[in-house]
Amino acid sequence: MTQAPERYMGGGLPRKEDPNLVTGRANWTDNIKLPGMLHLAMLRSPFARAKITKLDVSGALERPGVVGAFTGAELADQWPGGVPCGAVVSDQQNSPFFSPIVTDEVRHVGDVLAVVVASDRYTAQDALESIVVDYEPLPPVVNMEAALAEGAPLVHEEFGTNECFKYTAGVEGIDDLFDAPDDTQLEGGGVRGPNVGGQGDTGEAMRRADVVIKERYIQQRVLPTAIEPRAVVASPEPGHQGIVMYSSTQVPHLLKIVLSLSTGIPENEIRVVAPDVGGGFGSKLNLYREEIIAVVLAKKLGTPVKYVEDRSENYQATIHGRGQIQDIELAANSDGKILGLRVKLLDDMGAYLQLLTPAIAVSGAALFPGVYNFENFAIEIKGVFTNLTPTDAYRGAGRPEACFAIERAMDSLARELNMDPAEVRRRNFFEPFDEPTANPAGLQYDSFNLQAVLDRAIELADYESLRAEQQRRRESGDPVQLGIGFSTYTEICGLGPSQALAGLGLGGGGWEAANVRMLVTGKVEVATGTSPHGQGHETSWSQIAADVLGVTPDDVDVIHGDTDAVPFGRDTYGSRSLAVGGIAVYHAANKVVEKGKKIAAHMLEASEEDIEFEGGRFSVAGSPDQNVTIQDVAGAAYLAADLPEGMEPVLNESMIYDPPNFTFPFGAHICVSEVDTETGKVKLRDYIAVDDCGPVINPTIVDGQLHGGLAQGIAQALYEGVIYDEEGNLVTASMVDYMIPGAPELPNFTLDRTVTPSPSNPLGVKGVGEAGTIGAPPAVINSIVDALSPLGIKHIDMPASPMRVWKAIQNAQGKQSGDRQIDASLEASGADIKQGR
């Protein structure tokens, strides 16, 4: 009898990953102990910019337990490629050589100028104190506008400028309407552009508009803060003729390639393993200098070398997120219809280019139009070097920044026109569609039903009652005012079609690989090129394979994160894993079924066309009693004693899947905040998020992704911000000084979803990893500004700390407020309080 198969996709299966994690049996990189393993410690610069005039490591070598101490000069020939950058967004991009250990000049606090290798980590750390350095401090550049000013100190003198690149799309006349005219080289020559289309005539749109919203938004730097710091163990493996690198990374497959480019070690002699990884959020999407140094020293010394950063090093030397100054102009008619948008961005590179640094803002460029359908769009992005820690991908990576700008501007437009912020959005939404439709930047959105998510969010929030309560509080002069903030967003997920990624300056390689094999006993192994670090791929991929093959998820084992066990892969980032890697699993499993049909037909002495497959059983159409299970077929395929003529043994199928398009989840978020006008404290009373990421494989995991993303988005809006002083010192260099939210700082979330399948893949899935960080920041700030708008307050920069909110209220009421420490990297940009513009 064929039983109706249980369907696992769509069910909230508890995770297969959990047992090791809740019992303390996880395998973190720092757990790894190998015979003869030495420990590495970094001597880091306390200056943002200085010449090294003397460097003597001999004192360290005299200490007991110290095996070696090295300068950059001694090891320079070991890393001909330096720390590689894989992103080229313009032919004229200035890409400096990034030496893992500097040889002449330090360029940010935390830059590495020498290293010690010793028998244990305490000894290695102690020995750093015996290294003698003389510095000649030089004036640093710590903010982007100062960096671009005439006569600014240069981060990299060889370029003669602090401009890393300029990227433009549709920029004709863009400078006419911005305050600070730029140079005139606006033709965009040499731009390798994604298909970001500036299009139309934004100047004409601005002239004929009834209203032009002109604002400056600051995307403060934030610290990704995976709770597991970075860790690496490099081990020379004689049998492998090369090196094994265990790393707390999101991208073992990329590391294998990039490590080869850096060191010249042939790619086939490198094996990279990502053991259990304690969070990444983009910060472990990089080959870091410390990994290169560990590998080079392990090879040189012929013994394993371990490096584990402490949190202060994590904040100084792991990439930072965000770091943009956004000038935007939004033109509209009095009915709220948008006529055009133009954007001028400064994007903070920091002192060097990490793997994707220049591509972050560029990859978000085409998303500035958001979910709105209009004609004219132009953007200019300048990458700027500063004497600060390099920036790179942080959860959302270019998309939260774009979403924030358009969603803040939409609220300003609503206020200017005295319209409801939901209504002004509605008037500009795309009508629902389920086939690719171009946005104003030429991006092909895959499927939308924006009206449905907004309707549902408004219903869940009980919007009318909230407005009534707000009115009551305003009229009664309640010291605690109510704010309602909207954000309707989309994002680019499923990175990505290889050709499109090449267009973004990322070279290509957006595919993902999967291998599905059935063992002789009928059990299943799925090898995936994705590399999860909390996302639960072992569970979700098991659900996909189980449904296709008609087995249970417990029959499936998912293998990942080892370049020897999974030969091809492109890893986990950019909300790509399900929409690319999960689809590869789906296709490979279907190939297994297709081959199984041929074998079943042979076993049942029937024609292949007559074989039906359901619930793990192959049967002959019309004769359900004539059947074999997929386990029987797997056994027969493995033993190969009686297979159809010429058939390859074993059910063992692979798929390398290159998606035809990105995917575009979307959603509507409503933040309800209570703003204490006497203290400036903002309390989030409710947060409603209605998201559409297409059909959901595991709703429990999807909700978890949303929770975490929302928490990080709210954190950027309310709590987190890197602070540098004018000397380029990182003030927020530990968790004592940098506030990531704890449980009391976050609300409960009200989640719901609609389901609009993507036409781009057979499961219709879109991805969800970054939705929260993209949707949340503007919803939160919009709610605060909404609460305070009767005071004339039009904007508050992130993070909207109590001090900042209180100060805005004081200023709006014409009272003096004191000063506080603000981030010097943004100070000159007016990043503190702006209101009443």
Binding residues for other proteins (CB under 8 A): 12, 14-15, 17-26, 28, 30-31, 33, 120, 122, 225-229, 276-279, 281, 308, 310-312, 533-536, 700-701, 703-704, 707-712, 734-736, 740, 742-744, 746, 748-749, 772
Q: Which is nearer to other proteins, 168 or 705 (CB)?
A: 705
Q: Which is nearer to other proteins, 95 or 314 (CB)?
A: 314
3-state secondary structure of 308: strand
For every residue of 670-717, DSSP letters joined together read EEEEEEETTT--EEEEEEEEEEE-SS-S-HHHHHHHHHHHHHHHHHHH
**Residue for token digits 């927020």?**
732
* Rg of the chain (C-alpha set): 28
In one-letter notation, the amino acid at residue 368 is: F
CB of 11 to other proteins, least distance (A): 13
Q: Which is nearer to other proteins, 446 or 720 (CB)?
A: 720
Q: How many degrees, rounded to 5, is the angle at CA 367 between CA 322 and CA 756?
A: 115
CB of 311 to other proteins, least distance (A): 4
CB of 231 to other proteins, least distance (A): 10
CB 371 within 8 A of CB 410: no
Of 602, 624, 605, 603, which is closest to residue 613 (Cα–Cα)?
624
CB of 554 to other proteins, least distance (A): 15
CB of 261 to other proteins, least distance (A): 28
Q: Which is nearer to other proteins, 43 or 75 (CB)?
A: 43
Rounded CA-CA distance 739/718 in Å is: 10
* Element housing 811 (H / E): helix 802-812
Rounded CA-CA distance 412/404 in Å is: 12
CB of 666 to other proteins, least distance (A): 20
The DSSP 8-state label assigned to residue 356 in this structure reads S
CB of 742 to other proteins, least distance (A): 4
Q: Which is nearer to other proteins, 247 or 811 (CB)?
A: 247
Other C-beta atoms within 10 Å of 795: how many?
21
In one-letter notation, the amino acid at residue 765 is: V
Q: Which is nearer to other proteins, 522 or 536 (CB)?
A: 536
CB of 240 to other proteins, least distance (A): 25
CB of 282 to other proteins, least distance (A): 12
Total residue count of the chain as it appears in this document:
837
Q: Which is nearer to other proteins, 750 or 835 (CB)?
A: 750
The DSSP 8-state label assigned to residue 345 in this structure reads E
CB of 715 to other proteins, least distance (A): 9
Q: Which is nearer to other proteins, 28 or 568 (CB)?
A: 28
CB of 749 to other proteins, least distance (A): 6
Rounded CA-CA distance 237/242 in Å is: 6
CB of 708 to other proteins, least distance (A): 5
Q: Which is nearer to other proteins, 534 or 764 (CB)?
A: 534
**Residue for token digits 């084992």?**
557
Q: Which is nearer to other proteins, 334 or 748 (CB)?
A: 748
Rounded CA-CA distance 595/384 in Å is: 54
Rounded CA-CA distance 696/679 in Å is: 42
Q: Which is nearer to other proteins, 14 or 302 (CB)?
A: 14
* Element housing 399 (H / E): helix 399-416
CB of 553 to other proteins, least distance (A): 15
Q: Spell out a b/e string for 651-682, using b for 16 or more CB atoms within 10 Å of the CB, else e.
A: bbbbbbbbbebbbbbbbbbbbbbbbbbeebbb
Of 390, 389, 387, which is closest to residue 140 (Cα–Cα)?
387
Other C-beta atoms within 10 Å of 486: how many?
28
Rounded CA-CA distance 596/614 in Å is: 12
Which stretches of 36-137 are DSSP H helices? 58-61, 72-75, 121-127
CB 494 within 8 A of CB 662: yes
Beta strand pairing status for 623-629 and 652-657?
unpaired
Whole-number Cα distances in Å, 432 to 190, 455, 756: 37, 13, 10
Q: Which is nearer to other proteins, 319 or 410 (CB)?
A: 319
CB of 62 to other proteins, least distance (A): 20
Q: Which is nearer to other proteins, 313 or 380 (CB)?
A: 313
Expressed in percent and rounded to 5, the helix, strand and coil fractions of the chain are 30, 25, 45
Q: Which is nearer to other proteins, 324 or 539 (CB)?
A: 539
